[in-house]
Structures are given as structure tokens and as C-alpha cells.
Structure 1
Amino acid sequence: MPHYTSYDGTELAYRVLEARDGSAGPPLICLAGGPGRDAAYLGDLGGLNAHHTLVIPDSRGTGDSPPAVDPSGYAFPGLAEDLEALRRHLDLARFPLLAHDAAAATAQAYAAAHPEPLSRLILVCPGARLQGELPEDAREIFESRADEPWWQEAYTAVQLLPDTTDLAEMRGLLLQAAPMAYGRWEEPQRAHAESEGEQLGPVARAGFWQGVDEAGRRAVLARLREVPCPVLAVTGDRDAVTGMRAGELVAESFPGGQVRPLPRVGHYPWVDEPDLFRQAIEDFLTQHPTA
């Protein structure tokens, strides 16, 4: 895997999926969530590299990137500065950015600190913790699926996870709870879910939200009101992890924010409905062509 040197001299890894049609436009940089999860779970994002080169970095302490020397390196504002170092390494004047799940916080911190290089911003199934809200609709979506055969085991796992400190036990509970994160529980979803436990970096996960006080959070939100690029929040109507309302709140934080709700999908829309997801992203990129 190629590497780049970040702001503190750390060598961080990233992978490149070249556009299959040979397109030579600026790459789409894609950030993995978790937080603290190996970016391999993104795959090719439902074949999004058909017309776009994808650059997918491993954040500190995940994949092929080394752990942070200082715990602050795991916090999302620090990860945003890693992204800026990657942009400079790739010599990109402007580029589109896609972020999934918790990485939406990293992407928002980046947009607040470095708005000029962003040509557009895509936030897939984001949470609204940075907005200071925890909407209830994720729980409502979960409870609405109580008649599905996996539900009772998933419910039990959800209750036990917050108090679980043993890593092996946590991984087992994550797999038990996994069906709630998908639009349906079939072979592609099962295969994708089985990798989650081994891909999580507990230290990177624990450090992601650290070191950002209330004043810092509000400062980021205030700067988002001045971000000029178009912003798209993609949500899934079966996403029992972050729900749909969180995506709406995130989009409302930007002057150019819009929401694209997708039917029949959960927290990983490129796994549930790859064609639908890919078309939603392509529509947005076509509507706002690369500058």
C-alpha cells in the first residue's frame, strides 16, 4: 500500500482503486467510520470506482497505519489534519470527499478548517453527535423490525454491549447485533458483518471523541455555516444505527446541504442496494461536476 507523511511525521497508509473507465478527474477520497474501523469494510462502495478513482486512507491505529503516538491523534479534529496532509501529498487543489458513519465528524471538522479544497461533500449515514443531538428514530426503526427472526438476539446484544470490556465478548455481541445495521439479513450482509469485530481498533475507537470540548464543538458548527461546497447526506430508511433524522440535522448544518433518503437500506447502503447507492452518488457528482 502507498503511504503519505502526515503533519507530525507519521507515515500513514492509503489504498487507491483506479477508475475502471480510465477517468482522470480528481479522486474521491473516502473516509471509514466505526469509529476506529479498518477501511477495508468500505470495499469499492458498491462499484463506485466505475467512473471515479477512490482513495481510501487507513486512519491511525487501523489497517496498515500505525497507532498514534499521542492519544489526541485519534480524535476526529486530528484525523481531519491527517486528511489535509493526504490532500497535499496527492497535490489536489480541489477534491470531493465521502465519509461514512462516525467519519462524518472528521469530514465536518475538515470542512470547517479547510473549506476551500472541497468541491463537494458526501456524508453517508452520519450521526448527529457533533450537532449535539441523539434523535430517537434509530431506536424506533429498530423496534419496528421486532417481528424479524434475528431481532431478539440483536436486542439482547444491544443491551449488553455498553458494559462489555472483554474484546472477544464484544466482537461476538457485535455480530449478534449486526442484522439491525442492514436492510435485510442475507448472505452479502452476513459476509460483510462477519469482518467487523476483527476490523475494530479499540484504542482508536475510544480516542475518536476525546479532546473536543463544548466550545470546540460549537466553533466547528459555526464554521460549517460558511462552507461553500454542495453537501449531500445519504440516509437509509432501515438504518437502526444512526437513523434518518441525524442525516437531516447534519445537512441542515450547511448552507448547501441536502438529504437523499434511500429505501430498503440500513447503515451500509452499498451492501444492501449497491446499484441504488451508486446511482445516488453519481447523481450528486454529475449535478455538481468536478471543478
Structure 2
Amino acid sequence: MPTFTAADGTRLAYHLVGERAPGQRAPLVCVPGGPMRASAYLGDLGGLARRRGTVLLDLRGTGASETPADPATYRCDRQAADVEALREHLGLERVDLLAHSAGGDLALLYATRHPERVRSLTLVTARARALGVDFTARHRAEAGARRSHEPWFETARGPYERIWAGTATDADFDEAAPFFYGHWDAVAQAHAAEDAAQSNEAAAELYAPPEAFDPAAARAVVAAWDVPVLVLGGELDGGPLPRIAATIAGLFRRAELTVQTGAGHYPWLDDPEGFTGSVDRFLRGL
């Protein structure tokens, strides 16, 4: 498994998924969410890796990456240096960057610090607290109400509400899992079952404090940033709701918005062909 060394000496791992065809552009560098979930949950991104080789980064303290000596380095603004170290290790002048969920904040922090190093940015159901956009309990409730016809709704509703009220137990997270998938089928259930084992919960608590962000400064950078951005939301997702995804896209100078029909928070599982088609078209158009 390939590794590289971060600026503070922490050994970090990454995974090469898929193979680049001769003459194909550099691989797609992928930042996982969770927050602080090992990149294994991304899989091959619904087959996207077969069209475009991917580099999946295990954030410090997750997956095959080492635990840092200083837990304060779990803050997402400090992990931006890890993304830059990976770029340098790969020998890439500029990167095509894809981020999912909470990884959106890390990718945005990296991009606003190193705008000249990013060739394109793909935000998949991604957070944007770095730009001053957050997802509220009201947003989550609005998305959840759309699932009232599902057979699991009554069982999962209470646990889902307790998550956003800040009173959830581990069992509640398990019970509420169907809300995060467009289809609560065997694939989704297997994916959700791996969450706890793949996540560093202690690191997640340190990942995104308010002081990690300077939204006004970040917005000023992306408003003038002449780089193509794809914001991909899920029709059924509450983080972000489609209209909030549109708000995020509107903050960039060159962004396009795609809302995947019937998708939740993991759109590559809900409709692999639709997901890979959207991202692949965007990347081919660069």
C-alpha cells in the first residue's frame, strides 16, 4: 500500500483504485467524509474508478494511516497540509479533486489556500462550512419528511430526529441509517454496517470547530477562482438539500449543479451509472 509522510512526520496511506488508460489524465484525488471515515467506504465510486483512476486518501488516524502524535492536527484546516503533501508526493502540478460529505470542508480549505494547485473540484453531497453554508436540523427534517412512505420510516424517524437534536445514541445512528440512502437495499445495508468500524469518532469530534473556518475570506477566493466546479447533490439528501446545493454552486465563478434523481447521501450506490456519467462528463469537459 503506498504511503507518504506529512509535514509533521505522520505516515499517511492512500489507495489506487482503477487504472489509467494510456494517455489518460492524472488520477482523481478523492477526500473522504464521515467525518474521519476511512476511504474504503468510497469503493470504486460506482465504477468511476474504471473510467478514471482514483487516489483515495486515508485521513490521518483512519484506515491505514498513522495516528498523529498531536490530536489537534485532526482539525480539517490543519489537514489541508496533508492534501498538499499528497499532491507533492504524486508529482502533480495541479489536481482534479473530488470530496464527499464532510470532506467538502477539507477540500474547500485546501482549494482556498492553494487555488493554483487545483485543476477542478467535484463536491459530492458535500459540506461547505468553509464557505459559511451549513445544514440545519430544519433542512434534515424537510428531507426526512419526504421519506414518509418508506416501510422503515416509523422505526427510523425517532432516531433520525434525535441525531439532529444532539441526543442520539449509537443505536439511534444505526436505526436512522435508511434516511441517508436513496434505496435501503442490501447494498446500502452492507455499506451502513461498516460505518462504525471505519470511523475514528474521537477524531471526528475535533474535525470541524468554528475556528477552523474563515468563510468571508474563503468566499472571496472562490468568487474569483477561474476553476470548474461540479456540485452534485442527491434529490433525497438533507445535507445538502438540493436548494442548498444550488446555493453552494452559486458561490463559485464557474460551477455547475447536478441533482441526482432518487439519490441520498451516497449517490454512487443509489444509481452508479447516473453518478459516474455525471462526474465523467464533467471531467471530460475540462
TM-score, with structure 1 as normaliser: 0.91
Displacement after TM superposition at 1:145 (Å): 1.2
Q: Give the Cα separation in 2 of the matches to 1:22 and 1:198.
A: 37
Match of 2:149 in 1: 147
Match of 2:281 in 1: 283
Match of 1:134 in 2: 135
Q: Give the Cα separation in 2 of the matches to 1:236 and 1:104.
A: 15
Alignment equivalent of 2:167, drawn from 163, 168, 175: 163
1:64-213 matches, cutoff 5 A:
64-130=64-130, 131-134=132-135, 136-161=138-163, 162-164=166-168, 169-170=169-170, 172-210=171-209, 212=211
Displacement after TM superposition at 1:151 (Å): 1.1
For residue 63 of structure 1, give the secondary structure of its aligned residue in structure 2.
Answer: coil
Match of 2:2 in 1: 2
Displacement after TM superposition at 1:75 (Å): 1.2
Q: Give the Cα separation in 2 of the matches to 1:149 and 1:229.
A: 43
Contact (CA 8 Å) 1:180, 1:241: kept in 2 or not? no
2:177 corresponds to which letter in structure 1?
A
Q: Give the Cα separation in 1 of the matches to 2:195 and 2:162.
A: 17
For residue 246 of structure 1, give the secondary structure of its aligned residue in structure 2.
Answer: helix
Displacement after TM superposition at 1:157 (Å): 1.2
Identity of counterpart residues, as a percentage? 35
* 1:211–1:236 Cα change, 3 Å: closer
Match of 2:237 in 1: 239
For residue 30 of structure 1, give the secondary structure of its aligned residue in structure 2.
Answer: strand
For residue 116 of structure 2, give the secondary structure of its aligned residue in structure 1.
Answer: coil
Q: Give the Cα separation in 1 of the matches to 2:94 and 2:147.
A: 42
Displacement after TM superposition at 1:213 (Å): 5.6
Match of 1:266 in 2: 264
Q: Give the Cα separation in 1 of the matches to 2:145 and 2:158.
A: 13
Contact (CA 8 Å) 1:126, 1:246: kept in 2 or not? no
Contact (CA 8 Å) 1:60, 1:204: kept in 2 or not? no
Contact (CA 8 Å) 2:32, 2:42: kept in 1 or not? yes
Match of 1:33 in 2: 33
* 1:213–1:98 Cα change, 3 Å: closer
Contact (CA 8 Å) 2:14, 2:58: kept in 1 or not? yes
Displacement after TM superposition at 1:185 (Å): 1.1
Contact (CA 8 Å) 2:229, 2:254: kept in 1 or not? yes
For residue 47 of structure 1, give the secondary structure of its aligned residue in structure 2.
Answer: helix
2:45 corresponds to which letter in structure 1?
L
Displacement after TM superposition at 1:137 (Å): 4.0
Displacement after TM superposition at 1:144 (Å): 1.7
Q: Give the Cα separation in 2 of the matches to 1:175 and 1:133.
A: 23
Match of 1:44 in 2: 44
1:150 corresponds to which letter in structure 2?
W
TM-score, with structure 2 as normaliser: 0.92
Contact (CA 8 Å) 1:128, 1:246: kept in 2 or not? no
* 1:72–1:221 Cα change, 3 Å: farther
Displacement after TM superposition at 1:245 (Å): 2.6
Structure 2 unpaired stretches of 5+: none
Q: Give the Cα separation in 2 of the matches to 1:133 and 1:56.
A: 25
* 1:186–1:213 Cα change, 3 Å: closer
For residue 258 of structure 1, give the secondary structure of its aligned residue in structure 2.
Answer: strand
